[in-house]
Amino acid sequence: MGPVQELPIDIDSLIDEIQTHPVNSNEFFRMFKARQLSPRQLRLFIRQYHYFCFQFVKVLEGLLYHTPIAQVEMRTELAKTLYSELGSGSHEHVHIRQLERFANSIGLRPLDLEDTEPIPEVTQYLDTLRRLFSGPSHLTALGAELAVETTAVSEFQYFVPGLQQYGHFNSGDLAFFQLHETEEEAHGEWLIEAVRKTAKSDEDLYEVAIGAREVADAWLEFWDGMYRAVFDANPSDASPFN
């Protein structure tokens, strides 16, 4: 984590802090939008991204399980998010299946995805989520998931226009990415609502902020690692983009 920051005045200040975190405009996102990846680079990215998305749903189930039974509002918002991830009851619209249809469109077979070995940053990020989601403080866990959903909005603002420039993907291929342009906004709103109803004091909000800040920092490390893996370079060496 970075240096200790002051206690946020309120939930709105914390949300603003998360939304302006450097992860929301990291070098991988900017490069992805600025230029087409080679087939090898695109497949490498999708294999790693699929590994994370596939594992994340189970991690999210763990958060719901570890949330105290008395925290009804928090459990309700988490259940809505999990239900959305699982296609809101439709097998056809389960998010990971939509991503797998895109993977198929770029030549990745199910066995390719199953055989993916995660890069260290993907493993580390998932480990961070598991630790925070199952830790002793449900408020810190809530803050961690708040950061997950709040920062997730930005990636699709880069991924969708980035993929559209290839010119050969149809709407079915891009369904996962286009859905998440709006879906993640809803997820973020649900988690903000959960914080508003669960964090009852400044001390509670401080615990929420601890989890949110650690996850935002870890998410940036995730994408820095993705940049190194896909572009075979350090993000600090990237040319500036407009």
- Tell whether the model's pLDDT for residue 3 goes beyond 60: no
103: DSSP letter:
H
Distance CA 24, CA 100 (A): 24
How many domains is the chain built from?
Answer: 1
238 part of a folded domain: no
236 part of a folded domain: no
159 part of a folded domain: yes
Distance CA 209, CA 223 (A): 21
Cβ atoms of 186 and 84 within 8 Å: the answer is yes
Please choose, from the candidates 185, 129, 115, the residue with its C-alpha nearest in 3D space to the C-alpha of residue 153: 185
17 part of a folded domain: yes
Tell me the per-residue pLDDT of 178-218, one tens digit each, with 9 for 90 and over: 988 877 777 878 899 999 999 999 999 999 999 999 999 99
Distance CA 1, CA 3 (A): 7
Helices marked H in the chain: 11-19, 27-34, 39-66, 72-85, 95-105, 110-114, 120-133, 138-164, 175-198, 202-231
Distance CA 32, CA 38 (A): 11
**Amino acid 167: pLDDT:** 86
240 part of a folded domain: no
3: DSSP letter:
S
Residue 6, classed as helix, strand or coil, is coil
87: DSSP letter:
G
**Amino acid 235: pLDDT:** 80
Tell me the per-residue pLDDT of 46-70, one tens digit each, with 9 for 90 and over: 999 999 999 999 999 999 999 999 9
pLDDT band at 242 (very low <50, low <70, confident <90, very high): very low
- Tell whether the model's pLDDT for residue 135 goes beyond 90: yes
Cβ atoms of 119 and 48 within 8 Å: the answer is yes
**Amino acid 9: pLDDT:** 64
**Amino acid 234: pLDDT:** 77
| Amino acid, single-letter form, for residue 230 | V
pLDDT, the chain, mean: 91
For residue 94, the enclosing domain spans 11-231
Q: Residue 102 sits in a domain of what CATH number?
A: 1.20.910.10
What is the average pLDDT across 88-109?
Answer: 90
- Tell whether the model's pLDDT for residue 130 goes beyond 80: yes
Tokens standing for residue 122: 């993907």
Tell me the per-residue pLDDT of 145-171, one tens digit each, with 9 for 90 and over: 999 999 998 999 999 999 999 988 998
4 part of a folded domain: no
**Amino acid 220: pLDDT:** 98
Distance CA 18, CA 149 (A): 10
**Amino acid 7: pLDDT:** 54
Question: Which residues have CB under 8 Å from 76's CB, separation 6+?
Answer: 194
**Amino acid 87: pLDDT:** 80
Structure-model confidence comparison of residues 171 and 106, the more confident one:
106
- Tell whether the model's pLDDT for residue 241 goes beyond 60: no
